[in-house]
Structure 1
Amino acid sequence: MKTIFSAGTPLSALFRIEHHKELADMIDSWRPFLIDDDPTVEALKLNYFKFDRQRLRAKDVYLDLLAIVNKNGLKTPMGLLAQYLSTHSNLSVSYSSLYLQLRRLHAQTK
């Protein structure tokens, strides 16, 4: 799968602009669980998410994102979201396992 983003690409670039308010609120809700979060950076400009995985499960993040995906908020294929999360977060280093988990959860939440 071809990458269309760089290390500096924010998560918001993958979502339709009309869903950015919901995405910003979601990212703000994750902030207490982010390690080394810089509160001066706007939520929609964050481009790496280092989660405290003892306090927040990856599945919870995926379900949050899928709530927007299910509203047709994602403007890229699901595979690119999985690729983004595998390189821009500490949720999973395996793109394929992350993608499979996203697809499985997506099917359950439709």
Structure 2
Amino acid sequence: MSWLLAAAEHTIVLAQTENYTPEAPPGVEGLKKLVRYLTWFVLLSGVAAIIFAGGKFAWEKWQGGMLESPKMVVGALIGGIVATSAGTIMNEIIRP
């Protein structure tokens, strides 16, 4: 055990790590604006999908047919959760 402690005292550090902070490249404002527009469109699409699925659910219930619209509602909700949390997910994956 003492040889392990002695070896640990004489180790050489070959690499040092630094915590770099991300910096936006020049001219990125247009890209940020595009991402904000796309986020808005995804949220609008999700709300429209939930409204459509709700209307279809009522129609299927009234007609007495097979209910397929609950799958649409669940799909729209899961898609909305993933789309709105994409930035948080990427920050957790990329962050050191």
Q: Which has the larger radius of gyration?
A: 2
TM-score, normalization by structure 1: 0.25
Q: Which has the higher contact order (CA 8 A, sep 6+)?
A: 1
More helix by share: 2
TM-score, normalization by structure 2: 0.28
